[in-house]
Amino acid sequence: MAQNRCLKSRERWIWAALVVVLAVLNAFQFWMGPALTESSPAEIDAQAQEPVESGSRSQIDQPLIWEPQQALSDYQRRQFQRRGLNNPEAEIRADLLGKPHLIPLEPVLGGTMFFLPDSVQVLSDRWVMASYEDGHVQGRALFEYQVSSQGEISWRLLAAADN
């Protein structure tokens, strides 16, 4: 009787293990199936033997930096144009670049603080993110801006982080 009970327990464990293995295999096939069946083995071999061009970069090599393609919608762009900004994103960037006094970090060792032109990103119709430095220290800040009906841009520092 005890031996019969032991066999039933062992059989239950075997069935449970089999169900778990099948579930794992099914999940693997579900997630990896489309990737595995998109190319035939011959196509995969041909792709592996193709030379890689020296100037090309794969998607894996590209940096993981979020860069908005268009921060302003067409509607927002038209609103700013009505206020006198012909090219809103460029003029907003240029206005901030011309106001280094907004930088919250004091320069050191005789340096002069300035915004890095390539780092000024218009995030929306209200916010801009920009990096700054003086050659010795650097930081990044989030600014809020408003465009008046006359096309004047006013700025307010929201947050800053020094490196």
Which pLDDT value is given to residue 70?
Answer: 73
**pLDDT tens figures, 127-159:** 999 999 988 899 999 999 999 999 999 999 999
Average confidence score pLDDT of the chain:
80
Report residue 33's pLDDT band, with 50, 70 and 90 as the boundaries. low
Report residue 23's pLDDT band, with 50, 70 and 90 as the boundaries. confident
Residue 22 half-sphere exposure, CB side, CA atoms within 13 Å? 6
Closest by CA to 128, choosing from 87, 77, 94, 85, is 94
The residue type found at 23 is A
Report residue 108's pLDDT band, with 50, 70 and 90 as the boundaries. confident
pLDDT at 65 over 80: no
Domain boundaries, the chain: 2-49, 74-162
Which pLDDT value is given to residue 93?
Answer: 94
Provide Rg for the chain, Cα atoms.
29
Q: How far apart are CA 37 and CA 12, in angstroms?
A: 35
**The tokens 């009906």 sit on which residue?**
149
Q: How far apart are CA 142 and CA 70, in angstroms?
A: 18
Q: How far apart are CA 77 and CA 154, in angstroms?
A: 17
Which regions of 20-152 does DSSP assign to beta strands (E)?
Answer: 114-115, 121-122, 127-133, 138-147
Which pLDDT value is given to residue 25?
Answer: 72
